[in-house]
Amino acid sequence: MKDNRNPGGNIVASLICFGVTAAIAIILFIGAFVMWLASLTGSVAAAALITAGFFALLSFTIYLLAVRTAMEHLRDRLDTVYEVASRIKEAYDWLSDKFSFLSFLRRPR
């Protein structure tokens, strides 16, 4: 008998395991970097501040270069969807006003 299991569950589990292990590796790498920098500077606090400043600058740069553009594009798409939906509603209201026998289709307000 053939096993007809859906491979989708294995893919999701694999992606979750990959994401968790990648996150752990990144956290450990950053921790090791801070400890190495602390050994150079002589202060754990200074090393943590330098690392945090670097990642804050990196996140701000990513926001300026990628996220802001994507959000503007998404906002434009949502505006288009809203405009189309409002035009359809206006057309429906106009038609239902012109054809009073369709008034039973209109929802009470």
Tens-digit pLDDT profile for residues 46-71:
999 999 999 999 999 988 888 888 88
Counted residue by residue, the chain has a size of 109
pLDDT at 2 over 60: no
Cα 47 to chain centroid, rounded: 30
Q: How far apart are the first and last CA of the chain?
A: 59
The Cα–Cα gap between 4 and 11 comes to 15
pLDDT at 99 over 90: no
For residue 19, what are the CA distances in angstroms to 14, 31, 55, 71, 78? Answer: 9, 18, 20, 24, 30
State the pLDDT at residue 72.
87
State the pLDDT at residue 92.
84
Q: The pTM is what? A: 0.54
The Cα–Cα gap between 96 and 76 comes to 30
